Amino acid sequence: MAEMRYREALNLALREEMARDPNVFLMGEDVGVFNGAFKVTEGLLEEFGEDRVRDTPISENTIVGIGLGAAMSGLRPVVELMTINFSLLALDQIINHMAPIHYMFGGQAKAPMVVRMPQGAGHQLAATHSHSFEAFYLHVPGLLVATPSTPADAKGLLKAAIRDDNPVIFIEHETLYGIKGEVPEDPGFVVPFGQAAVRREGTDVTLIGISRMAVTAMQAAEQLAERGVSAEVIDPRTLRPLDLDTILRSVEKTNHVVVVEEGWPHGGVGANFTALIQEQAFDFLDAPVQRVSGADVPMPYSRPLEQAAFPHAENVVAAALATLDTGDRV
């Protein structure tokens, strides 16, 4: 094990997979000479050359379309988009082509490609650079969706994504790039899709955090422990496929649930999780599922307003106490 930053873990995953499989190559805006907008691809151009680390023009629809063609031809492209907001410019290629291509060709064609993109608020980049759109891609059959929250998962899930024969939407959070954690150095280390992580055991309430909100949920769990509340923290890690069994086992144990996401509340991941839990674990619930989400507004530029527009630990604590009806512990 080695301690490294989230961005370094992603870089290591790319380096290992490019060394392992000559069909893996990178493409995107500034991934080569500039080492990536968030320095995830640092040093890879020098190591693997221009044929396998390709800077592209500013045209997301074109980038994803070229990647799809390469994938259908037998290569394994890893496409980087500078921010998830810009992926909206490539929705035709992602939703109408990349996702259904295996089905539309009757299994004769496949799209083993990864589209990496950062998302999330906290850097005062305003509404066109700061939103969380995992719910957009969760909605689309044919796509796999990963949302790693730790350096180890960033490495392990990215390696699994590159090796998968399905198209993968790989969502990174901008504020996580600098966090440190223990990461296995074994090149064979892979985190399988569809296996949630129980970040903390608990008995009173289940906190389910998506992407950076898994970290926020852990902070909330620590604050709840100071109030005598035992919170279990579940990090789904992948949204498609979803490890619903781990979530339901936790609900059966705690009987109370709070779902925490940074995206908007209407039609979000939290709404989907809440429906699944109440459909399949209703008899185990002692209270309605609580949802903590980003504010239903375009992301503000003003720092105080931006901070108010996405969840913090105190918001999760308040939701947990509300579902437990434990006003005496406040």
Catalytic residues: 60, 129
Q: Which of 222, 178, 202 has the alpha carbon at shortest distance from 313?
A: 222
Instruction: Provide the 10 A C-beta neighbour count for residue 69.
Output: 15
Question: Would you state the torsion angle of the CA atoms of residues 303, 306, 312, 317, taken in this order, to the nearest 10 degrees?
Answer: 110
Q: Is the bond into 298 cis (omega within 30 degrees of 0)? A: no
Strands 205-209 and 231-235: parallel
| Alpha helix stretches (DSSP H) within the chain | 6-20, 44-48, 60-72, 91, 101-104, 134-138, 151-163, 212-226, 244-254, 269-280, 303-308, 313-324
Query: Distance between CA 239 and CA 144 in Å, rounded?
Result: 8
Q: 148 is written with which tokens? A: 């790693």
Burial class of residue 33 (count of CB atoms within 10 Å of its CB; 0-12, 13-18, 19+): exposed
Which residues partner with 290 through β-bridges? Answer: 258
Distances in Å between the Cα of 108 and the Cα atoms of 30, 103, 121, 219, 325 are 33, 9, 40, 47, 55
Which residues partner with 259 through β-bridges? Answer: 208, 291
Query: Distance between CA 158 and CA 191 in Å, rounded?
Result: 8
Instruction: Provide the 10 A C-beta neighbour count for residue 123.
Output: 12
On whether the CB atoms of residues 260 and 316 are closer than 8 A, the answer is yes
